[in-house]
């Protein structure tokens, strides 16, 4: 028996780079959080403290800033440039993973007109991209995190099995709320990244809204199926969707009905913890899997 080094990677996490295009008076802005990881032969650093193969994480950070100077473009494009650069920089570096979070900004309206250089943050959601260079192969995941959505009706939950610990009553009408984290894998590396992303996001929202839900699992699958049907470059999509419980509040102790058909407001308690957590994958059965594309990306599959 021997003790050996197993899989490893290292890099610089959370480089907060903001690029401003000032080429016309109507400025535009990209706001990114970039993390790089390198893979390859770094055994000597681990076993002997020999750093001859360790491209510093400081240099990785510098590279992010320097590359931004040429213009940033979409998160996927920026990730592709960086991942290819890192993977090709030294013989012993066989791969690189570049993860990008992108934060949206809207133009502030002044007198109804979008301002040239003043912006407000567009909410808690982030757009994500993960580019993995693995030797000559390159893989692109796109995604989003914390897209918080809610339906006030059009959601049931019935027909489940009952064991000793099951006390939940069935319901024909409940609030359904979740914070969608979705990541999807593309079959190509030269897409109209912004266009496809926008299309997938719209599909996710429209399908969530339009699906009469019998289970959050069903909603998840419907969202994934719609994305694959409408967006051919998407090979696979993975979801993590917490069930953010909104419990109908019992007001009977105060002589108040809290029925769904009464006057006034129907009153719910938005709970924090525990929460349901539904995770699942929807994919095409004729696309070969590319597990390396997902390596290091949070998720259960």
Tally of CB atoms within 10 A around 54? 15
Min dist. Cβ of residue 76 to a copy of itself (A)? 17
Residue number, 66 or 190, with CB nearest to a copy of itself: 66
Min dist. Cβ of residue 290 to a copy of itself (A)? 13
Residue number, 129 or 244, with CB nearest to a copy of itself: 244
Please give the residues from 108 up to 167 whose contact with a copy of itself meets the rule CB under 8 A: 108-111, 115, 117-124, 147-154, 157-161, 163-167
Question: From CA 109, how far away is CA 55, in angstroms rounded?
Answer: 45
Question: From CA 250, how far away is CA 258, in angstroms rounded?
Answer: 7
Q: At what angle do helices 193-210 and 216-230 cross, to 10 degrees?
A: 140
Please give the residues from 252 up to 291 whose contact with a copy of itself meets the rule CB under 8 A: 253-254, 256, 258, 260-261, 263-286
Residue number, 158 or 188, with CB nearest to a copy of itself: 158
Min dist. Cβ of residue 240 to a copy of itself (A)? 10
Min dist. Cβ of residue 210 to a copy of itself (A)? 6
Min dist. Cβ of residue 100 to a copy of itself (A)? 13
Please give the residues from 16 up to 45 whose contact with a copy of itself meets the rule CB under 8 A: 16-23, 27, 29-31, 35, 37, 42, 45
Listed in sequence order, the residues at least 6 apart from 112 whose beta carbon sits closer than 8 Å to its beta carbon are: none
Please give the residues from 61 up to 90 whose contact with a copy of itself meets the rule CB under 8 A: 61-63, 65-66, 68-72, 89-90
- Check binding of 50 to a copy of itself (CB under 8 A): yes
Active-site residue list: 12, 57, 245
Please give the residues from 231 up to 250 whose contact with a copy of itself meets the rule CB under 8 A: 236, 238, 242-243, 246, 249
Residues facing 106 on adjacent strands: 120
Please give the residues from 173 up to 212 whose contact with a copy of itself meets the rule CB under 8 A: 175, 205-206, 208-210
Question: From CA 183, how far away is CA 99, in angstroms rounded?
Answer: 12
Question: From CA 255, how far away is CA 90, in angstroms rounded?
Answer: 74
111-127 core/surface letters (b: 16 or more CB in 10 A; e: else)? eeeeeeeebeeeeeebb
Question: From CA 187, how far away is CA 74, in angstroms rounded?
Answer: 17
Rg of the chain (C-alpha set)? 23
């Amino acid at each position: 028996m021997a003790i050996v080094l197993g899989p490893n990677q290292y890099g610089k996490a959370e480089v907060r780079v903001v690029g401003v295009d000032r080429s016309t008076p109507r400025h535009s802005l990209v706001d990114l959080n970039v993390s790089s990881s390198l893979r390859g032969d770094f055994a000597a650093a681990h076993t002997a403290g020999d750093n001859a193969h360790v491209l510093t994480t400081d240099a990785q950070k510098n590279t992010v800033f320097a590359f931004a100077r040429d213009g940033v473009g979409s998160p996927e494009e920026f990730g592709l440039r960086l991942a290819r650069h890192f993977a090709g920089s030294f013989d012993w570096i066989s791969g690189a993973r570049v993860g990008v979070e992108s934060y949206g900004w809207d133009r502030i309206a002044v007198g109804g007109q979008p301002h040239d250089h003043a912006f407000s943050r567009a909410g808690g959601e982030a757009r994500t991209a993960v580019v993995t260079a693995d030797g000559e192969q390159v893989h692109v995941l796109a995604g989003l995190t914390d897209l918080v959505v809610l339906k006030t009706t059009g959601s049931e939950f019935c027909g489940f099995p009952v064991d000793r610990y099951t006390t939940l009553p069935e319901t024909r009408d409940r609030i359904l709320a979740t914070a969608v984290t979705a990541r999807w894998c593309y079959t190509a590396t030269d897409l109209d990244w912004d266009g496809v992303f926008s299309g997938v996001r719209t599909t996710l929202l429209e399908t969530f809204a339009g699906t009469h839900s019998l289970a959050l699992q069903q909603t998840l699958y419907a969202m994934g199926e719609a994305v694959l049907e409408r967006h051919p470059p998407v090979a696979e999509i993975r979801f993590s969707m917490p069930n953010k419980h909104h419990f109908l509040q019992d007001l009977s102790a105060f002589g108040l009905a809290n029925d769904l058909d009464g006057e006034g407001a129907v009153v719910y308690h938005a709970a924090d913890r525990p929460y349901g957590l539904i995770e699942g994958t929807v994919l095409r059965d004729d696309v070969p899997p590319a597990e390396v594309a997902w390596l290091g990306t949070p998720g259960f599959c």
